[in-house]
Amino acid sequence: MDLDVIIPVKDRPTVEQCVATLLKESDRTPNFKLRQILLCDGGSTNADCCAQLTKVSQQSQVNILQCPHKGFNKGWLLNQGLLAATELLILISDVDIVWTTKTLIELSQAAAQNPYTFYHIQSVQESQFQNIAVQRSRYAYCITQSLTEKRVEIYADMTQAQVRPGYGLLCAHRELLEQVGGYRHDFAGWGWEDQDLLMRSQLLGYAIRALGTVTHLSHPDTHRNQFSQQCPQQSRDRNIRRCLDGLAQGKLWGDLRATSTAERTYAGKISIHYPPQLHHAAYPDHPLPRSSCSSNESA
């Protein structure tokens, strides 16, 4: 069972630890092989991060995609990884995640056997249990369907903070990710581009399942939104509104490949519902990345 891993990164201190853990866990499992670890670098300038990227690039499985752009556009970076990937299965990770053999096997086996299902991590545990990430208010979504419309509802998630899902840590067939158009490019700052992918996919009729546990290497919010003038909660709330506005307009496909608006617009009715706390979260327009990527393999 072979797969490619895609990881977006920009000026983060955990590159080496993340890559080393993935390679170690892969070596432990005879029927599981990481063919490529695609590190999509959004233009790191921090000396420590650059040194770590240089070091891990010496590993034969690691391919650094140079994708410099202003700010940090996670969806755009992940799409560059999808365009460079070659294996049947894709694992999407963050650069601050510690994976276990058990979870990697569970995810990859389930995805391999179910080509029309997205599998994301069920539980993310913090390496520091009192970290800000477990204290921040969260939102979840519910999608239902009647004879006349599809209904999308955002609601405050009141479940135990220590047991939070990893929507952005997922495994699926590469072809499935391509069918939904990958990720959208128009999210600014931290938050919600992962849920947007899953919501669009569910509205298009694909299944979403959760399983497995990983550890998140806890860090302050200065890392989480260092390329945005907004605090993480503010950018997340604005991205939720951007996501919902797109769904209401029938924009159910991502921006992986250029297609006309008419070709990727859903014609049915989608009703949108969200709590009053999100009414304030208007979002400004912002420039999208336009630079091209280069690979360390072609350098």
What is the token pair recorded at 211? 């399983």
Q: What is the pLDDT of residue 299?
A: 42
Q: What is the pLDDT of residue 191?
A: 85
Q: Which of 294, 257, 236, 261 is nearest to 76 (CA)?
A: 257
Specify the CATH class of 2-287 in words. alpha beta
The Cα 16–Cα 39 span in angstroms is: 11
Q: What is the pLDDT of residues 42-56, one digit of tens each?
A: 999 999 999 999 999
Q: What is the pLDDT of residue 180?
A: 97
The length of the chain is: 299
What is the token pair recorded at 190? 């931290």
The Cα 218–Cα 129 span in angstroms is: 8
CA atoms within 13 A on the CB side of 267: 2
Which parts of the chain sit beneath pLDDT 50? 224, 298-299
Q: Which of 288, 286, 275, 281 is nearest to 234 (CA)?
A: 281
The Cα 41–Cα 74 span in angstroms is: 10
Query: What is the separation of C-alpha 247 from the centre of its chain, rounded to a whole number of angstroms?
Result: 18
Could you count the other beta carbons within 10 Å of the beta carbon of residue 116?
A: 13
The Cα 46–Cα 131 span in angstroms is: 24
Long-range CB contacts for residues 139-144, cutoff 8 Å, separation at least 24: 139/240, 139/275, 139/278, 141/195, 141/199, 143/199, 143/202, 143/203
What are the residues facing 207 on neighbouring strands? 117
Q: In a 3-state reduction of DSSP, which class is residue 178?
A: helix
**Domain residues of the chain, as ranges?**
2-287
Q: What is the pLDDT of residue 267?
A: 83
What is the token pair recorded at 277? 């706390």
**Burial code of 17-27, b = ≥16 C-beta within 10 A, e = fewer?**
bbbebbbebbe
Q: What is the pLDDT of residues 143-188, one digit of tens each?
A: 999 999 999 999 998 876 667 899 999 999 999 999 999 999 988 7
CA atoms within 13 A on the CB side of 228: 24
Q: Which of 142, 164, 138 is nearest to 152 (CA)?
A: 142
φ/ψ region of 182 (left if φ > 0, alpha if ψ in -120 to 50, else beta) reads left
